[in-house]
Amino acid sequence: MAYLVKKSCSSKGIRVMPIIETILLGMAASGAYDLTKEGAKIAYQAVLSKRPDLIEAAESAAEAGDDQGLRTALTGAFEVLAGAGEVSIDGAVIEALRQATFDHQQGTVVIAGTQISAPVLVTGGGSGAKGKTVIGGGTSLSSAGTKATLTGSASITLTGNAQIKQD
């Protein structure tokens, strides 16, 4: 078997490592890089198809050399989209750095006993929505300038494209 002699930082001086081990280690590192690169491409394509505005903001910030703008464009948003299904959030604490959106679309969003805070908070249906959002007691919705707290059996129901925007 062939060996590679390599200097080591240990007090023993040198370490003998089989060449096969060195080759396998290199192949594993290369494979991990390829998987990470492919994962990043898939994530980029997913964001591009759903939120081209975020990609445009990120690319604009990157071209301008604005690191803070790039981080802001890529982080801090929390978005819940019900589609034609149902999303139920109960007993959670949700904090977003930039914006939190809860859009029932054609489905239903139910929020109860939950604390939600974000500088901009949008709850309800977007354009063309036909679904429903129900916000139940024990829920607090806080934005940069507003706060709505529902206690006891209090509730808010939003249908269609009705929404609450807090900022």
pLDDT at residue 98, as a whole number: 80
pLDDT digits (tens), the chain, 167 positions = 444 444 444 445 555 556 666 676 776 676 666 656 666 666 666 666 666 776 677 777 777 877 766 666 666 778 899 999 999 999 999 988 788 999 999 999 999 999 999 999 999 999 999 999 999 999 999 999 999 999 999 999 999 999 999 99
Question: How many Å apart are CA 14 and CA 1, to the nearest integer?
Answer: 18
pLDDT at residue 7, as a whole number: 47
Question: How many Å apart are CA 40 and CA 46, to the nearest integer?
Answer: 10
Question: How many Å apart are CA 115 and CA 148, to the nearest integer?
Answer: 10
pLDDT at residue 93, as a whole number: 92
The answer to whether the CB of 55 falls within 8 A of the CB of 48 is yes
pLDDT at residue 65, as a whole number: 79
pLDDT at residue 38, as a whole number: 65
pLDDT at residue 3, as a whole number: 43
Question: How many Å apart are CA 156 and CA 136, to the nearest integer?
Answer: 7
